[in-house]
Structure formats: C-alpha cells, structure tokens
Amino acid sequence: MSISGYKIVWLQVSFDLPVKTEIQRRKASKFRNFLLDDGFEMAQYSLYMRFCRSGEAAEKHIRRISANAPDTGKVHVLSITDKQYEKIITIHAAHEKISREKPPNFSSY
C-alpha cells in the first residue's frame, strides 16, 4: 500500500535558544537530544526535520515538541507535505552546483 505524497507531512523544527549560561546550554542540549530521540534528523545545527505518515502523526509530534521546548528562546515548527518538500533546492557551497535531487521517497513506507 502506497501513501500519498499529499498526506505525508514533513516537520521542520528551527530554534533559537539562549546558551549564555551553563543551565541554558544544558536545556538547549536536552531539547536537541529530545528531537533526535523523537526521530528528527539534524539538517543544520538549529534545524531538524522528520517525516510523518499523516497529519495526525504530525500533530502528535508537535504536541511532544511543545511539551519539551525550553522555557526560554524560540522554537518554530513548519509542516509541509511530501509533494512540497520534493521541490527543495540544496546549495552545498557557492562554488558547487545547485542540487535539484529529490529527497528520499517515503511514499513506499
């Protein structure tokens, strides 16, 4: 059974957390580890992504993110469909080519 690229949801979590004190660094590290434990992959240092099989599954993870977010700083969660994510363009470095290679196809999961 194939899942539609319009039903799969990618969650993108970006954050700007204070790290001036030891306690703030510990909270930021705990949040990053939570994201990794919850199935997110690091795209950049403060940008994590994961796919969800449905909007309902995405909502579950959004609630978990909200419950585990530190009490200071900002956390943003963006939801996009797999079809939208297909159009991602990645530039690895200014001197390299722009990659229009499609992300992994999770429709077969």
Query: Would the pLDDT of 78 be above 80?
Result: yes
pLDDT tens-place string over residues 80-91:
999 999 888 888
Task: Put the strands of the sheet holding 74-81 in their side by side order.
Answer: 41-44, 47-52, 9-16, 74-81
The CA distance from 51 to 43, in Å, is: 13
Under a CB-based contact definition with an 8 Å cutoff, are residues 15 and 76 in contact? yes
Using CB atoms within 10 Å of the CB of residue 13, give its burial: 0 to 12 exposed, 13 to 18 middle, 19+ buried.
buried
Mean pLDDT of the chain: 87
- Domain layout of the chain by residue ranges: 9-99
CATH class of 9-99: alpha beta
Under a CB-based contact definition with an 8 Å cutoff, are residues 35 and 48 in contact? yes
User: What count of residues does the chain have?
Assistant: 109
Query: Would the pLDDT of 31 be above 70?
Result: yes
